[in-house]
Structure 1
Amino acid sequence: MWLIYKKEITELLRDRKAVFFMVALPLVIFPLIFGIMFYFTSQAVTEAQTKTLTYAIVGKSFAPDLVSEFESIENLDLKTLDLASPDEDSLKAEVKNGNFDFIISIPDNYSEDLFRAGQIVFTIYLNDAELNTVQMRLSEIIDEFASRYQRTAFESLGVDEQAQLSLIEPMVIEKVNVADKRESIGALIGGFIPYVLFLICLQGAMMPAADIGAGEKERGTLETLLLSPVSRKDIVIGKFFTISTAGVVTALVTVLSAAVWALIVGQGMAVQAITEFMAAFDIIDILLVFLMLVPIVSIFAALLLSLSIYARSFKEAQGYMGPLMLIAIVPVAIALAPGIELKGVWAWIPLTNVALAIKELVKGTMDYMQLFAIFGSSAIIAALAMAFCVYWFNQEKVLFR
């Protein structure tokens, strides 16, 4: 078995493509991809917030003081609306045709006297299918005017400031968050981390798995290997450990890379939230996140080896392995569902329990007693898949199909 393992590892290290998927992807490529995505997303949001928008106002005469405040807003360009009788359809058409970014209609009941005016409803025509900050820019001024007129109305009734607060908001819910910084941030990103880790580990094991089984069939070296004085069970176990090693190395590089890049971003870009979040971790937490991936890699390795043994060629093996991405995604999706926690039966469901455990580790709320269920159920599934690999490898009709 160890001779087979040594042989396969030696051949694996000679394969630059496999080494690239094991090391370069999690170490550099994926952080670079996510960095580019974050950069362009932040750029799009910044551009939406600072972009100069053209707009028109219907009913200027009803609220000259409010119109004056609108004109003072930066990055808003007021244009004249050339419509004899602006109705709803014509206003929609103006925005839809791109003549204006938005149009705001001031109602004819606008007044400082709220008792006479009643509720004042502004209508904004805009294309809300795109990223925009129109409502946010206008709300600040409208809310200010609303508060001012509200205070005037209460003062006319002789209501003091404390009573005004009671009338405006008679009941208030005050929230006291008992979660620390790590738990709060971990709840936001904890479900996303297993998604990335699972896919990277699967990707790292997929390339050597396809070559170890189907690749040897294509090269004609499988027959030579079967003639050696090594049992087929030992051959399968040796190949299994090779694929597992590739996946484990990918997992280790991924976890370390994520930790290092998080520290770089936190320190280099002075993002205090990330710095505090990473400072809450200790070496045990990072080690446990890595160990959580070991049973996942074992399950993936057994499944990938089975498909590789069955496939006639390297290309066919890759075609079979593609759908396995769903196996990596579905458990994470289940773990993200509301009410799903690392308790009871969920602690025994393979893949999903690991996704939940990683989420809990990131949050810092892990129940370490659940490790027995996690590793136990994963070991059972990996052993069954491994036994199927051995059975598969002993079938001549499968081996030489």
Structure 2
Amino acid sequence: MLKVYLKELLELTRDKKTLIFTILLPTLIMPVIMLGFITLSTKIAKKAVDEDLSYAIVGGEYYPELVEQLVKNDKLKQETVKDIEKAKTMINANDLRFAIVIPEDAQARLRAGLNIEIKMLYNDSATTSAIIFRRVNDAIKDLKEQEVNRRYAQLGLSEAQGKAINNPIELIKTSTADKRESFGEKIGGFLPYILILIGLSGAMYPAIDIGVGEKERGTLETLLLTPVPRFQLVLAKFLVIFTTSFVSVFFSLISFGLMIGFLGPMMLSGIGSQGSSAVNEIMKALATISSFDVFLMFLMLVPVAAIFASVLLSVSIYARTFKEAQNYMSPLMMLVIFPLILPLLPGVKLDWVWASVPITNVSLAIKEIFKGTIDMGMLAVIFVSTTVIAGLLLGLCNWWFQREQVLFRN
């Protein structure tokens, strides 16, 4: 059996596709793509925030203070447009980013202590429309505060008293969770999602190659004629797929750790003070994850990799051709994705009900380990139950491999 295992493993390592899908893809390509996407998204968002916006004001003579407030902002460039319809046409043509329309009774309503409704015309279909609205709202924030303070003074109230009138009861959020738990709850569900899918993809191609691939190459019959029991053949092939799946997860986790720990802060340092502080908070939270926690995460992925190896080998042995095996893999991928989405939904917590759902229970357990709130008793139950499922599937795979009508469907 050991010779069969080493033979299959050696054949896979000689295949460039195997090296790409099991080592290069999870170790280097995927982390670089993800980190590059995050960096690019951050730079695009920063560019949208710092972009010079051309605008027009219709009815500026009715509220000159607002006009002056917008002129003070050096990122806003005023254009001379007095007609509303022309402003709308220019906005749709992207010649203007927005237009401000001030009503004629603006000053009269302010003197009467009433509010004024100032229209902001902009193209809501633009991807940066929300950022534009927020920037304009921030630009006139000081003017709003000045008007509010003026009204407080007319009523003989201090600024604090005036704010208390608008907000007599203020609810202040104070979290009892530490930084690691809070950070883990927000993004901890994505870690098992990525790791488990990488484990599945790392096992998929080797399973096809050592199953239906041997059928197409005509080497399966030769292998069956050797004096090695079929169960040992199945176990050797199973161990090869299990190895490639787990190696993919192992290298990807190390690669992600190196990317986040070393390259991440350097690439995200140009975001600004807020971005740098956010990175520092993330790094502090990650620093609390011990080597034992990482070991537990790997331990939970062992039976999952065994499940994937058993199922994929069964499918590969059943398929007639390489193409047919690939067609079976797509629905299998969907069956894995659905249980992985559940831990991302709000309100889904690790309890004895969710602990009985395969794949979902492991995903929730890894999330709780990442948060530092795992119940070791429940963790043991999930590990044992998942291992039992993997053992049953391996037994089914062995029974499947014993059937001549499955091996030689051609």
TM class by shorter-chain length? over 0.9
Q: CA deviation at 1:252?
A: 1.1
CA distance in 2, matches of 1:379, 1:241: 15
Match of 1:131 among 128, 132, 140: 128
Q: CA deviation at 1:327?
A: 2.5
Q: CA deviation at 1:247?
A: 0.7
CA distance in 1, matches of 2:241, 2:99: 61
CA distance in 1, matches of 2:68, 2:213: 74
Q: Does 1:334 align with 2:342?
A: yes
Give the gaps of 5 or more residues in structure 2.
Answer: 270-278
User: Does the aligned pair in 1 maintain the 2:57–2:99 contact within 8 Å?
Assistant: yes
CA distance in 2, matches of 1:280, 1:266: 18
Q: CA deviation at 1:125?
A: 1.3
SS at match of 2:54: strand
Match of 1:98 among 84, 94, 105: 94
User: Does the aligned pair in 2 maintain the 1:266–1:272 contact within 8 Å?
Assistant: no
Residue 173 of structure 1 aligns with an amino acid whose one-letter code is L
Counterpart of 2:48 in structure 1 is 48
User: Does the aligned pair in 2 maintain the 1:9–1:242 contact within 8 Å?
Assistant: yes
Q: How does 1:136-215 map to 2 (within 5 A)?
A: 136-215=134-213
User: Does the aligned pair in 1 maintain the 2:59–2:104 contact within 8 Å?
Assistant: yes
SS at match of 1:78: strand
Give the gaps of 5 or more residues in structure 1.
Answer: none
CA RMSD of aligned residues (A): 1.9
Q: Does 1:345 align with 2:342?
A: no
Using the TM superposition, name which of 2-11 and 19-28 deviates more. Answer: 2-11
User: Does the aligned pair in 2 maintain the 1:205–1:243 contact within 8 Å?
Assistant: yes
Counterpart of 2:273 in structure 1 is none
Residue 366 of structure 2 aligns with an amino acid whose one-letter code is I
Q: CA deviation at 1:378?
A: 1.2
Residue 397 of structure 1 aligns with an amino acid whose one-letter code is Q
Q: TM-score, normalising length from structure 1?
A: 0.93
SS at match of 2:211: helix
Q: TM-score, normalising length from structure 2?
A: 0.91
Using the TM superposition, name which of 308-317 and 153-162 deviates more. Answer: 153-162
How far does the alpha carbon of each residue in 1:31-71 deviate from its partner, in whole angstroms, 9 at most, with x for none? 11112211221121011111122111111011112101101
Q: Does 1:303 align with 2:311?
A: yes
Counterpart of 1:293 in structure 2 is 301
Q: CA deviation at 1:203?
A: 1.1
SS at match of 2:55: strand
Residue 274 of structure 1 aligns with an amino acid whose one-letter code is I
Q: CA deviation at 1:111?
A: 3.1
Q: Relative to 1, partners in 2 of residues 1:363 and 1:111: Cα closer, same or farther, differing over 3 Å?
A: farther
Number of aligned residue pairs: 397
Q: CA deviation at 1:296?
A: 1.3
Counterpart of 1:313 in structure 2 is 321
Counterpart of 1:3 in structure 2 is 3
